[in-house]
Amino acid sequence: MKRLLLSLAVLLTSAMAFAGEGMWIPMLLQYNEKEMQEMGMRITADDIYSINHSSLKDAIVLFGGGCTGEIVSDYGLLFTNHHCGYDWIQRHSSVEHDYLTDGFWAYDRSQELPCPGLTVTILREMRDVTEQVLFEVTEEMTEEKRQATITENMKRIIAEVEKTTDYKVSIKPFFLGNEYYLLLNEVFTDIRLVGCPPSNIGKFGGDTDNWVWPRHTGDFSIFRVYADKDGHPAEYSADNVPYKPVQHLQISLKGADEGDFAFVFGYPARTSEYLPAVAVDQEANVIDPIAVRLRGEILDIYNTYQEQDRKVRIQYASKHAGLGNGWKKWMGVTEGINRFHGVEKKRFYEESFQEWCLGSRLRYLYINLLKNFEAKYKELEPYKVAYTYLTNAGLNIEIIGFAGNFNKLSEVTKETPQEEVDKMLASLKKASAEFFKNYHQPIDEEVARAMLTEYLQNQPADFRPDFLNDIADVNAYVAMLFEKSMFTDEEKVNDLIDNFKPIKAKKLQKDPALVAYQSMIRFYREEINPKMKPINDELAQMQRLYMKGQMLMEPDKRFSPDANFTLRVTYGKVEGFRPQDGKNYRHFTTLEGIMEKENPEIYDYVVEPKLKQLYNNKDYGRYADKDGSMHVAFTASVHTTGGNSGSPILNADGQLLGLNFDRCWEGTMSDLVYDPSICRNISVDIRYVLFIIDKFAGARNLIAELDIAE
CB 698 within 8 A of CB 365: no
Instruction: Look at residue 501 and give its three-state secondary structure.
Output: coil
CB 696 within 8 A of CB 218: no
170 binds, among ligand ARG, ligand GLU, none (CB under 5 to 8 A by kind): none
Please spell the DSSP secondary structure of 394-461, one letter per residue. Answer: ITTSHHHHHHHTTTTGGG--TTS-HHHHHHHHHHHHHHHHHHHHT--HHHHHHHHHHHHHHHHHHS-G
**Burial 671-701, CB ≥16 within 10 A → b, else e:** bbbbbbebbbbbbbbbbbbbbbbbbbbebeb
Nearest residue to 45 (alpha-carbon basis) of 66, 31, 61: 31
405 binds, among ligand ARG, ligand GLU, none (CB under 5 to 8 A by kind): none
- Judged by CB under 6 A, the chain residues 615 through 644 that form the site for ligand GLU are 640-644
Looking at 83, 216, 320, 587, which residue is catalytic? Answer: 83
Q: Is 83 a catalytic residue?
A: yes
**207 or 288: CB nearest ligand ARG:** 207
Distance of closest approach, residue 645 Cβ to ligand ARG, in angstroms:
5
643 binds, among ligand ARG, ligand GLU, none (CB under 5 to 8 A by kind): ligand GLU
Compute how many residues bind ligand GLU; rule: CB under 6 A. Answer: 9
With residue 229 as reference, give the H or E element that holds it: none
Looking at 58, 209, 219, 562, which residue is catalytic? Answer: 219
Pattern 621-660, ligand ARG, x by CB under 6 A: ---------------------x--x---------------
- Dihedral of CA atoms 157, 160, 166, 169 in degrees, nearest 10, equals 10
- CA dist 347 → 275, 278, 281, 354, 553 (Å): 11, 8, 10, 10, 16
**Burial 327-361, CB ≥16 within 10 A → b, else e:** bbbbbbbbbbbeebbbbbbbbbbbeebeebbeeee
With residue 370 as reference, give the H or E element that holds it: helix 369-389
Sequence-distant (6+) residues with CB within 8 A of 611 are 200, 201, 591, 594, 696
Q: What DSSP character marks residue 97?
A: S
Please identify, among the stretches 171-179, 202-210, 246-254, 374-382, the one whose residues bind ligand ARG according to the rule CB under 6 A. Answer: 202-210
- Given 6, 9, 317, 321, the residue binding ligand ARG (CB under 6 A): 321
Q: Is 221 a catalytic residue?
A: no
Interface with ligand ARG, residue 662, by CB under 6 A = yes
CB 428 within 8 A of CB 406: yes
Nearest residue to 596 (alpha-carbon basis) of 582, 587, 607: 607
Q: What DSSP character marks residue 203?
A: T
73 binds, among ligand GLU, ligand ARG, none (CB under 5 to 8 A by kind): none
**464 or 639: CB nearest ligand GLU:** 639
Please identify, among the stretches 192-200, 203-211, 308-316, 572-580, the one whose residues bind ligand ARG according to the rule CB under 6 A. Answer: 203-211
Residue 612 CA to residue 632 CA, distance in Å, equals 14
- Judged by CB under 6 A, the chain residues 641 through 660 that form the site for ligand GLU are 641-645
Looking at 645, 647, 670, 683, which residue is catalytic? Answer: 645
674 binds, among ligand GLU, ligand ARG, none (CB under 5 to 8 A by kind): none
CB 222 within 8 A of CB 195: yes
206 binds, among ligand ARG, ligand GLU, none (CB under 5 to 8 A by kind): ligand ARG
Distance of closest approach, residue 80 Cβ to ligand ARG, in angstroms:
12
**209 or 297: CB nearest ligand ARG:** 209
Interface with ligand ARG, residue 405, by CB under 6 A = no
**388 or 641: CB nearest ligand GLU:** 641
**177 or 643: CB nearest ligand GLU:** 643
Distance of closest approach, residue 635 Cβ to ligand ARG, in angstroms:
14
Q: What DSSP character marks residue 43?
A: S
262 residue type, one letter = A
Nearest residue to 129 (alpha-carbon basis) of 108, 111, 155, 98: 155
Distance of closest approach, residue 243 Cβ to ligand GLU, in angstroms:
24
Establish how many alpha carbons lie within 13 A of residue 141's alpha carbon, considering only the half-sphere containing its beta carbon. 13
Residue 206 CA to residue 191 CA, distance in Å, equals 27
**645 or 670: CB nearest ligand ARG:** 645
Distance of closest approach, residue 506 Cβ to ligand GLU, in angstroms:
45
Instruction: Name the residue with the smallest CB distance to ligand GLU.
Output: 645
173 binds, among ligand GLU, ligand ARG, none (CB under 5 to 8 A by kind): none
Q: Is 232 a catalytic residue?
A: no
- Judged by CB under 6 A, the chain residues 75 through 94 that form the site for ligand ARG are 83
**Burial 217-230, CB ≥16 within 10 A → b, else e:** bbbbbbbbbbbeee
625 binds, among ligand ARG, ligand GLU, none (CB under 5 to 8 A by kind): none
112 binds, among ligand ARG, ligand GLU, none (CB under 5 to 8 A by kind): none
Distance of closest approach, residue 603 Cβ to ligand ARG, in angstroms:
12
Please identify, among the stretches 29-37, 134-142, 206-214, 483-491, the one whose residues bind ligand ARG according to the rule CB under 6 A. Answer: 206-214
Interface with ligand ARG, residue 64, by CB under 6 A = no
CB 661 within 8 A of CB 159: no
Nearest residue to 593 (alpha-carbon basis) of 566, 645, 633, 563: 633
Which residues sit at the interface with ligand GLU, rule CB under 6 A?
A: 640-645, 661-663
Which residues sit at the interface with ligand ARG, rule CB under 6 A?
A: 83, 206-207, 210-211, 321, 325, 642, 645, 662
Q: Which residues are catalytic?
A: 83, 219, 645
